[in-house]
Chains A and B, each alone.
Chain A
Amino acid sequence: MIKFEKFILENGLRVLVHEDKSTPMAVLNVLYDVGAKDENPEKTGFAHLFEHLMFGGSKNIPSYDEPLQLAGGENNAFTTNDLTNYYCQLPAENIETAFWLESDRMLSLAFSKKSLEVQRKVVCEEFKEHYINKPYGDVWHKMRNLAYTTHPYKWMTIGAILKHVEEATLEDVKEFFFKHYTPCNAILVVAGNIDIDNIKTLAEKWFGPIPSGIKYNRSLPAEPPQTAPRYLEVKSGVPLDALYKCWHIYPRMDKRYYACDLISDILSGGGSSRLFQSLVKEQQLFSNLDCYHFGSTDAGLMTIEGKVVKGIDIKEAEKALVEEIKKLQVEGISQAELEKVKNKAESAMAFEDMSVMNRASSIAMYELLGDANLINTELSNYQMVTAEEIKEQSRIIFDENNCSTMYYLSDN
């Protein structure tokens, strides 16, 4: 049971506090309810570029990193299609330094021209390092574009094209900041060796005076149901043929999400999983196979990807994969297999909750989803899934008309 207390400042900032006296450290985690899905389709990659700019100095403090490091702290941040999360960890006695730094950059950035110029270049190098200069690096650019016709999940957080990042202006930066980086669009979690009363005082002191801002009301275009299979074939200088298949699943807060999550474990969650055993070990059609999804807030994609063994026709490999899925749809699963994936979920959660940093960011993310207490109740949502639901959902999701398939073929 992970305990926390929640209160809301007058300006709308939600604050959650989790005490853990066993650690000498404290964590301050700020989550902003903005991600790549909130970007203008002509200016993609902006939420992530903006995350970089948050380290370029704020209104009253020229550098974010230095004072934090001087206080013995460390920090980082990440951007997804749904959200942007900043976290720092430092010796608990110095927690006020984190309040000072985080509140000033919520108040206002410095909007430095030099920072924008440099970070545009840094993000372009990040783009190249992860998505261009690697075999199969552009898979998800293509796959999102194929699977989503309408919803902004169709582009990646790094941006659809380099040019969008290169052309970002200081005006864009300011507009984005005042629209999204406001107390009413943020969640603050403080965790570790801290004292709840003291945190209340510090939160009032540092974040209380920041103007509330206007609540950003999201209205994203909904993805229409897919009604026919989609295909894409790519040829490039990669060494092996690779197969990617995606199916639309449910939003994160939909009850049916849990069955889908367990299905991905049944298919590929370890050495005893179905796809690995049948297609990698027995039939030896693939050298690796993974089934996963990103747990996105809006309806995400169940994905199966694998590299085909050299000399095997990708169509033959795909056929065998489809057969395995059919088996699940027709025969369902045994109680023991269901028990196995539930045990795995329990174990994974226990390990995840070990570090105070993870607990802080989980609390923030669950609060964003609508209920921070999910950190305690999530496991029971998995426990309730039945074998019948697994079978039913595998029939619904793995429908040919709900599927996008990509062949990423080697041209040598």
Chain B
Amino acid sequence: MNRKIAPTIKDAIDYTLHLKPYEYSKLDNGISVYTVNAGAQEVIQLEIVFYAGNSFEQQRGIAAATNFLLKNGTSTKTALQINEAFEYYGGYCNRVCYNETAVISLHSLTKHVNKLLPILNEMLTDSIFSEEELKVYKQNAQQRLKVNLQKAEFVAGRLIDSYVYGEQHPYGVYTNPLDIENITTDACKQFYEKYYLNGSCIIFAAGNLPAQFINELNAVFGKLHVNKTSIKVPLADVFPAVEKKYRIENDPNAVQGAIRLASPFPNRHHPDFKKAMVLNTLFGGFFGARLMSNIREDKGYTYGIYSYIQNHLQQTAWMVSTEAGKDVSEATIEEVYKEMKRLREEKIGEEELLLVRNYMIGGILGDLDGPFQIMAKWKNIILNNLDETYFYDSVNEIKTVSADALMELANKYLLPEKFYELVVY
């Protein structure tokens, strides 16, 4: 046995990837239900996705507050009773508000899920948004914001989005303490009425589903007064900042700078998107990427540096993100630009390209392991108005994109003059 010689491997690119199909059903009121019935554990994940994200709000913070308060009281149950109902059966009910969508999710043991559906239904049809609950929400949200505003990475994340999209755009907007103060129960009730009671929603369920689950969903949610009118996501105009470079002092005692570089980028429907996912992986998408190899593993400027393409539906941004020592923050930015230059001017070698291909395919193979992960892939495809060809074309692009094509792409997008540049100390 010679330990210097690597065992032979099956190149991940020789794998045929298969995305397990979902099953599709429609409830009586037209709600689309996507299910993936799989997995060894007796658990289930149910997500009800409403078009009720912050793109629809007229006043900052309303969409998030409404989404949060769904769990805080109906005409027959207090917030405590709702929480007890879920928690008694070991269920977790969460809600999250995004830009276009707002989600109510339930994680439960399969054997208990049917007992928990009626509570979800009550939240979606009979929430009351009491003054007292809103008061506590506002107070706690303000306290949390106060703490976050002392974190350079939090401040940097808000500011870079506002430069790329403009502060009026749903992707660039952020809440200030005063915005939270201005939230009223009336505004929440109106938003609830329009975007939940008479809104538009999709259901995703994955895991070990109980028998006759669709019938059960139909009995509980089939009468919701939703999907009567098709809700159009408003297309907001982008107002990118004119100034490109920012240095902001948030804390005079900071020992690190939170660095963000971002450039506008089209959405998943653009022909460059799938190729760009490969180029991004090579640039800064994983531990072996150029940015990490140079700036962490060679120079030791940071604990970690990554690049990624934001997951937005309409338009998006290509982002580089890191926290680096205060004294080496500028040097870090220099090195990021150097790595962009290398990608523009030197063709990637076959060996490195094969590594990236194999790494990405291996990653997808691992990602498809388990019902929740499979559903996450489908959800992304469906909410982006794509179909399964997007998945298979992406896989194909990973396997076949050429070094020349990647260099061409770098010359189109990885140009320092296109990037906003921010350091928050």
Contacts and interface: CB of A to CB of B under 8 A. Distances in A.
Contact of B299 (A90, A118, A132, A347): A118
A145 to B, nearest CB: 21
B298 A70 contact: no
A10 interface: no
Contact of B369 (A70, A336, A355): A355
Given A100-B3, A125-B256, A271-B80, A74 B90 contact: no
A94 B11 CA distance: 9
A41 interface: no
B109 A347 contact: yes
Nearest to B93: A271
B147 A239 contact: yes
A350 B109 contact: yes
B362 A240 contact: no
A237 B150 CA distance: 9
Interface in B91-137: 91-92, 107-109, 112, 136
A277 B7 contact: no
A376 to B, nearest CB: 14
B354 interface: yes
A74 B256 contact: no
Contacts of A240: 143, 146-147
Nearest to B2: A60
B41 A350 contact: yes
A70 B109 CA distance: 38
Given A104-B3, A133-B323, A24 B369 contact: yes
Contact of A72 (B139, B147, B323, B365): B365
B232 interface: no
B252 to A, nearest CB: 9
B325 interface: yes
A271 B109 contact: no
Interface residues of A, number: 80
B256 A347 contact: no
B88 A336 contact: yes
A310 B140 CA distance: 10
B297 A346 contact: no
Contact of A133 (B86, B255, B288, B359): B255
Interface string B371-410: 0100000000000000000000000000000000000000
A117 B143 contact: no
Interface in B297-331: 297-303, 323-325
Interface string B64-101: 00000001000000011011101111111000000000
Nearest to A24: B365
B147 A135 contact: yes
Nearest to B140: A287
Contacts of A238: 147, 150
Contact of A272 (B80, B109, B372): B80
Contacts of A126: 303
B13 to A, nearest CB: 9
Given A25-B365, A133-B254, A351-B43, A271 B136 contact: no
Given A344-B87, A353-B41, A355-B370, A97 B9 contact: yes
A71 B287 contact: no
A123 B301 CA distance: 10
Interface in A280-319: 280-281, 284, 287-288, 307, 309-310
A150 interface: no
A309 B255 CA distance: 29
B71 to A, nearest CB: 7
A316 B198 CA distance: 45
Interface string A1-45: 000000000000000000010111100000000000000000000
Interface stretch (A61-69, A218-226, A391-399): A61-69
A120 B355 contact: no
Given A97-B9, A122-B296, A134-B151, A339 B370 contact: no
Given A60-B3, A281-B136, A346-B109, A125 B323 contact: yes
Contact of B71 (A93, A132, A271, A288): A271
A22 B89 CA distance: 28
A71 B146 contact: no
B361 interface: yes
A281 B324 contact: no
Nearest to A126: B303
Contacts of A22: 40
Given A97-B6, A271-B80, A354-B41, A310 B359 contact: no
The 6 closest A-B pairs by CB, nearest first: A72-B362, A121-B300, A347-B90, A271-B83, A72-B12, A272-B83
Given A125-B323, A310-B143, 10 more contacts: A25-B366, A60-B3, A71-B358, A73-B362, A90-B362, A117-B300, A118-B300, A129-B256, A343-B90, A347-B108
5 contacts: A118-B298, A134-B150, A287-B143, A288-B144, A355-B370
